[in-house]
Structure formats: C-alpha cells, structure tokens
Amino acid sequence: MALKDIYVCVDCLMAIANNDYSGLDYHYGPEEAERRMEEINAGLAELGWVSLGDQDLDKEFDNQPCDCCGDIDAGARHHCYVEEKTDA
C-alpha cells in the first residue's frame, strides 16, 4: 500500500486521532462548529483511510489549505498519511 503525506489542521487532527469534535464547540459558535464538522467529515470521507503521521514532520505554521477539510486559515498543520489512490 502506497502512502501519501498530507497535512491537516488541528480540527481535523482531533477528529482523526480521537474522533473528537469538542474543540469545535470551544473555538467556534454553534453554527460555525456545525459547518466545520461537516467540512471535516466531508474531507475524511473523501480521503478514506487516514493514519496519524510523524509528529517530527508537523509544521508549526503553514499557509497552505488543510488537506482534509480545505480550511484556509493559516496555522499549524499536522502530518498524516493517507492511502494513495491509484487510478486503475
């Protein structure tokens, strides 16, 4: 299985690592939290299998969009692996 590196925002990291969306309620208002959760779930569904990556490869600050939810807020990005999709 070929693995591909992706970088995700902390919201996605929590969802991947702990299936934990509680941080959203803390950081956002109720409607925004709901919207972010949908974005994250859509991203995870698109990515399929996701595994936590190497913390040494985490970026403390990056302005690239999150590879999962597409969040464009610059900030920390956490390394994860996804299974590389091969178009047969």
Contact predicate 12/40, CB 8 Å: yes
Tell me how far, at minimum, the Cβ of 29 lies from Zn ion, in Å.
18
- The C-alpha angle with vertex 9 and arms to 83 and 71, in degrees rounded to 5, equals 100
d(CA 15, CA 19): 4
Binding stretches for Zn ion (CB under 5 A)? 8-9, 12, 66, 68-69, 71
Q: Which is nearer to Zn ion, 68 or 86 (CB)?
A: 68
Residue type, 26: Y
Q: Smallest distance from the beta carbon of 11 to Zn ion, in angstroms?
A: 5
Q: Which is nearer to Zn ion, 39 or 83 (CB)?
A: 39
Nearer to Zn ion, 47 or 68 (CB): 68
- Provide the minimum distance between the beta carbon of 33 and Zn ion in the complex, in angstroms, as a whole number: 14
First vs last Cα of the chain: how many Å apart? 14
